[in-house]
Amino acid sequence: MMARFLAWDHRWTQRLSIAERPGPLRSAAAFLAHSGDSWFWLIGLAVVYFAGSADWQPLTLRLAIAIVVTAAFVLGLKLLFRRRRPEGNWGAIYRITDPHSFPSGHAARAALLATLSVVWGPAWLGIVLLIWAPLVILARVSMGVHFLADVIAGAALGLVAGLVFLILVPL
């Protein structure tokens, strides 16, 4: 059963891969794949927290805490499962700093941010992140740094984490 699932996972991952095909679609996928980086989000949230309106401070603080807590949980699962990333050349920084692919931290983060923003943020932010999240998730597979199962598990984890934060953290 597991062998059939892994064969399906590899087959669909290869079908979705565009990392070795130059062009505008690959460029867009590369941009989207990086747009879910935790450092990008944490720096962006810090800038909004310190330079933006005081109205944004509670939201940015909650989102930053959720990102860090979810990242720690994802890292623990990656160390537990130790699934190697797909073979490929793109995304060397990910392959060096984090050789494990299951579950996808980017997918977890994207789903987490979309879930929390729909409830905690203004309507426009929730809409933007609901569009952005699946694009990031797909881009991680398209650029060859994750298997399809990695991003499905990561997105599910991010959704659950988002729901837990919505229950535990007051608005």
Q: Are the CB atoms for 114 and 126 separated by under 8 Å?
A: yes
Break the chain into its structural domains and give their ranges.
23-168
| pLDDT value of residue 156 | 98
| pLDDT value of residue 47 | 96
Please state the rounded mean pLDDT for residues 37-52: 94
Bond preceding residue 103 cis, omega within 30 of 0: yes
The single residue of 10, 34, 100, 106 carrying the catalytic annotation is 106
pLDDT in tens, 75-91: 999 999 999 888 877 77
Task: Please determine, for residue 142, whether its predicted confidence score (pLDDT) is greater than 80.
Answer: yes
The answer to whether residue 146 is catalytic is yes
pLDDT in tens, 144-156: 889 999 999 999 9
Task: Report CA-CA distances (Å) from 98 to 21, 37, 53, 75, 80.
Answer: 24, 12, 35, 9, 13
pLDDT in tens, 89-118: 777 777 778 888 999 999 999 999 999 999
Task: Please determine, for residue 56, whether its predicted confidence score (pLDDT) is greater than 90.
Answer: yes
Please state the rounded mean pLDDT for residues 118-134: 96
| pLDDT value of residue 6 | 84
Percent residues over pLDDT 70 in the chain: 99
pLDDT in tens, 1-35: 888 988 888 889 888 888 788 899 889 989 999 99
The whole-chain average pLDDT of the chain stands at 92
The single residue of 10, 34, 100, 146 carrying the catalytic annotation is 146
